Structure formats: C-alpha cells, structure tokens
Amino acid sequence: MDPNNPVIKLCAEGMKAEREGRNDEAHMLFVQAWEQSKNDYDACIAAHYVARHQKTPEEILRWNKEALDRADAVNDQRVQGFYPSLYLNMGKSYEDLGNSEEARRHYELAAAEMNNLPEGRYGDVVRGGIKRGLQRVS
C-alpha cells in the first residue's frame, strides 16, 4: 500500500485513534477517507474501516459488502491480500444476523484465500478469526 495515498493516511490515523480509545474520532477519519476515495481501490479500503464503526449489524454488513464489491471491481493484485479479511468480515456479519449458511459460505471463501495472507501478526489474526468463525458455524 502506498503510504502517501491520502485515503490510506486517513485510515492509518483512524486506526491510531482506535488504539488510543478515541472511537468517535476514528469513525470521523474513516468516513473522511470514504468521502475522499477517488477509485474502487481507495473505496475498498475506506469501506472496510467504516464498517467497523457502524451501530447495527445490518449497517456493518452493508459496509462490509461495499468493501468486498469494491475489491471485486478493482480485480487486480493490489487487493488479493484483502480477500481473506473481507470474506471473514462478511462471514461475521452474516453470523451476527443469524444467517449461518451465508456465514459458513463466507468463512469457507476466506479459508480458500488464506494463502494470500502474509506471515506475521496480521496474517495470524485473520487466520485465527477464520478458524474460530468456521468452528462457530459448523
């Protein structure tokens, strides 16, 4: 990811605000990133973070679907590493809404994309989330 991209900068600032417990500020930064998105790649990233600060499961699903749809629209190598997390988030959204069938389908899609995850903490967190999700809906 390009650290000079304004959308990525805003999302990084939002993640820092989250870590520091400033959730309202984080939400505002993620919305600002969404509003500044100039293409599907930027919108995919911004929507992923906007989803984290929604108040209802339906809105979380809507934003997770937006992120996934935008990744599909990009359709190149830049987003390949996003799919495990995007599918994981869709699975969790469906699980929270009580739709175990769709949750399982998305967790399985996430598992099929795990080879695109990097080694390290981020990859471990996503792999663990997928494993736990599959266990919950099996």
Q: How far apart are CA 49 and CA 59, in angstroms?
A: 12
Say yes or no to pLDDT of 99 above 80.
yes
Q: How far apart are CA 5 and CA 99, in angstroms?
A: 36
Say yes or no to pLDDT of 1 above 80.
no
Q: Give me the helices (H) in the chain, please.
A: 6-19, 23-36, 40-51, 57-74, 83-96, 100-112, 121-137
Kindly indicate the confidence band of residue 3, based on its pLDDT and cuts at 50, 70 and 90.
Answer: confident
User: Structural domain boundaries of the chain?
Assistant: 1-55, 76-138
Mean pLDDT of 46-70: 97
